[in-house]
Amino acid sequence: MCSRFSLYSTYPRFAHRIGDIRVDDPPVPRYNVAPGTWISSIRRQGDNPQLTFDSVWWGYKPKWAGETAPQPINARVETVATSKFYQAAFQRHRCLIPADGWFEWLPGTQPKQPHFLCREDREPFFFAGIWTERADGKPGVAILTESARGSAADVHDRMPLILTDDSIEPWLDPDLTDRETIRRFVRHVPAAAFTHWAVSTRMNKPGEGDDEGLLNPA
Q: Would you state the pLDDT for residue 207?
A: 75
Percent of the chain with pLDDT over 90: 81
Residue 160 sits at φ, ψ, to 5 deg, of -65, 150
**Which pLDDT score, from 0 to 100, does residue 118 have?**
98
Amino acid at 159: M
Predicted local confidence at residue 27, as pLDDT:
87
Is 180 an annotated catalytic residue? no
The confidence score (pLDDT) of residue 197 equals 98
| In the chain, % of residues over pLDDT 70 | 100
d(CA 112, CA 66): 34
Tens-digit pLDDT profile for residues 65-82: 988 999 999 999 999 999
Average pLDDT, whole number, for the chain? 94
Burial of 190 (0-12, 13-18, 19+ CB in 10 A): exposed
Element (H, E) at 196: strand 194-198
Mean pLDDT of 26-47: 92
For the segment 41-55, the average pLDDT, to the nearest whole number, is 87
* pLDDT higher than 90, residue 56: yes
Integer Cα distance of 87 and 65 in angstroms: 13
- Out of 2, 146, 180, 212, pick the active-site residue: 2
DSSP string, 120-132: TT---EEEEEEEE
pLDDT confidence of residue 191: 94
CB contact at 8 A, 216 and 199 = yes
The pLDDT assigned to 15 comes to 87
Question: Vertex 119, ends 6 and 181: CA angle to 5°?
Answer: 95
What pLDDT, in 10s, does the model give residues 13-32?
988 888 888 888 888 999 99
Decide: helix, strand or coil at residue 88: helix
- Supply the pLDDT for residue 26: 84
Q: What is the pLDDT of residue 153?
A: 96
Catalytic residue check, 104: yes
Amino acid identity, position 60: Y
> Residue 185's pLDDT band (boundaries 50, 70, 90)?
very high
pLDDT at residue 48 greater than cutoff 80: no
Candidate from 101-115, 123-137, 165-179, 195-209 with smallest mean pLDDT:
195-209
**3.30.450.20, 3.40.50.720, 3.90.1680.10, 3.40.47.10: which CATH number matches 5-215?**
3.90.1680.10
| 85 Cα distance to chain centroid | 18
Annotated catalytic residue, options 67, 78, 95, 104: 104
